[in-house]
Amino acid sequence: MSKVIAITGAARGIGFATARALKAKGATVAIGDIDETAAKEAGEKLGVAAFTVDVTSRDSFTAFLDAVESEVGPLDVLVNNAGIMPIGPVTEESDADARRCLDINVHGVMLGTKLALGRMTPRGRGHIINIASLAGVLPTPGLALYNASKAAVILFTDATRLEVQSTGVHVSAVLPTFTNTELIAGTQSPKGQKNCEPEDIAAAVVELIGTPRPQVAVPRKLGRQAKLGALFPDRFKQAISRRYGLDKIFLEYDADARKSYDARIRG
């Protein structure tokens, strides 16, 4: 895979795993993260170029892409992966958390997409992959803010894809389920469901770059179930939610186990 690929939020978790998988496939990878120290350490571990980037800042995101193209090469693929997941009752979510979540998860994706399109469209090629979530199509108590942000990413990605489909640039969304990263610290898995690993999401991104499609869910069976479930009455959907414990997972959690993550995402 002889492509230059930039990944945001790649100092850990899904972004890190994706960078490692793409490098193993022969891609030239550059990573970015708001945590300068973690980005540098991740870059050294992976053997890839690493930069600091604040995806909410046009100047910072532009500087990141400039650095990638200057030091690595013309950008073929941008993976907008940076995101945060505050959880808890909607009435207890602070205004600051709400603004930061939407700024990173939504505006960061929009900004990265626009900046990448500005480089890719004149070349008539390129691929933008936005990491969304099945949470964007499956509303869950205690996850309202994150649900809203990922729903926005899905629709933004779809609309942008339709707008630029004649330019040679692909725009896709990846919708993971529960994945074993810091985002789910202190929570339990849905009953009877095995969480994905970051490597599962990375594999989906690798496949998507090789064969571009509008959207892929991980695992795919849950994507199909989500589409089918949307056709059922609300009472039935709530019963299913209770059966798997989804009605309490993000309301009854171990707050101490999330302290480190919560402190980091609040900067």
Residues belonging to the active site: 146
3-state secondary structure 189-238: CCCCCCCECHHHHHHHHHHHHHCCCCEEEECHHHHHHHHHHCCCCHHHHH
Residue 245 is classified by DSSP as T
d(CA 161, CA 225): 24
Cβ contacts of 62 within 8 Å, gap of 6 or more: 115
**DSSP letters of 132-179?**
--GGGTS--TT-HHHHHHHHHHHHHHHHHHHHHTTTTEEEEEEEE-SB
21 contact partners, CB below 8 Å, separation of at least 6:
199, 202, 203, 205, 206
Q: The tokens of 182 are what?
A: 């810091």
Q: How far apart are CA 92 and CA 142, in angstroms?
A: 10
User: Taken in order 119, 8, 66, 102, is the CA torsion positive or negative?
Assistant: positive
